[in-house]
Amino acid sequence: MRSLVYILSACAVIALAFWAYRENYLTQRAVAESERLQQEIGAARARLAVLRAEWAYLNRPDRLRSLAELNYDTLQLLPLGASQFGQVDQVGFPPEPARKPQFDLRNSVDVSGVEEGR
């Protein structure tokens, strides 16, 4: 009986060692994947920063103004002025719908069984 307990204990230790070994390698693989993803995120953020800087450089007001002047014959773009905006009273808002009563009590039906005159 004692030898059976020793054999079962040894098998349990071997099974637990195998499980721990497998979990260790799975954990190392997950950590490596996480580090790789973090590097990709860092590279993507760097590319995004470069793209934002390029966009800001290309959309400088003096550059856009010179492009508008250069292409005036085809685009006919003019600088934006206060006279190009309208007043609020010039906006054609849709008319408000007529309010309809929620309940029409003129032709009500008595369902309580009690007459009104009593």
Q: Which helix (H) or strand (E) holds 4?
A: helix 2-58
Give me the phi and psi of 95, to 5 degrees please: -65, 150
Number of structural domains, the chain?
1
pLDDT digits (tens, 9 = 90+) for 41-95: 999 999 999 999 999 999 999 998 888 888 888 888 887 888 888 888 888 888 8
Structural domain contains residue 29: yes
pTM of the model as a whole: 0.49
DSSP 14-51: HHHHHHHHHHHHHHHHHHHHHHHHHHHHHHHHHHHHHH
In a domain, 52, yes or no: yes
Could you count the other beta carbons within 10 Å of the beta carbon of residue 47?
A: 10
Contact criterion met (CB below 8 Å) for 66 and 59: no
58: domain range? 2-69
